């Protein structure tokens, strides 16, 4: 019985240690100003939302850090919420008025490529840089 409890405790501690060793640092650059905030969503590879966060902008860039993540495949999308209304503002034909971006910067001629191009792996301390695009 004591051996089982000991093994369960070791397994639990090892899994906590593994998760605590995986982090993501996201640097968002090419912001046209420092007004407003960044609204960012971290998703798993099935496009399920895991974390939604906002952060302030400093000198036309923003850095966000997420700790204690499971190793695996993830995707990120964000927008520059210049008026702090937590909505990606668009014009009457749905072209974004505010900047936005995705992990791996998967932009095609008419906007972002499909979701599979956004996916990246988190293993250990992972850092990514994301370009902000503006159409208007």
> Residue ranges of the domains in the chain?
2-131
Q: Tell which wins on pLDDT, 109 or 10.
A: 109
> For residue 35, what are the contacts with CB-CB under 8 A and spacing of at least 6?
57, 82, 83
Mode of pairing for the β-strands spanning 107-108 and 100-102: unpaired
Could you tell me the pTM of the whole model?
Answer: 0.84
> Coil, helix or strand for 35?
coil
Fold (CATH) for 2-131? Immunoglobulin-like (2.60.40)
pLDDT in tens, 96-135: 999 999 999 999 887 789 999 999 999 999 999 999 999 9
Per-residue b or e along 26-37, where b marks 16 or more CB atoms closer than 10 Å to that residue's CB: bebeebeeeebb
Do residues 56 and 40 lie in contact, with contact meaning Cβ atoms separated by under 8 Å? no
pLDDT in tens, 63-104: 999 999 999 999 999 999 999 999 999 999 999 999 999 999
């Amino acid at each position: 019985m004591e051996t089982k409890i000991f093994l369960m405790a070791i397994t639990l501690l090892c899994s906590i240690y593994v998760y605590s060793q995986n982090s993501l640092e996201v640097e968002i650059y090419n912001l046209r100003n420092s007004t407003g905030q960044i609204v960012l969503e971290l998703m798993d590879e099935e496009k399920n939302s895991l974390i939604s966060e906002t952060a302030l902008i400093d000198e036309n860039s923003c850095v966000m850090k997420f700790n204690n993540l499971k190793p695996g495949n993830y995707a990120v999308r964000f927008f520059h919420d210049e008026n702090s209304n937590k909505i990606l503002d668009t014009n009457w034909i749905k072209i974004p008025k505010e900047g936005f971006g995705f992990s791996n910067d998967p932009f095609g001629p008419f906007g972002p490529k499909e979701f599979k191009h956004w996916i990246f792996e988190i293993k250990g301390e992972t850092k990514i840089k994301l370009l902000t695009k503006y159409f208007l």
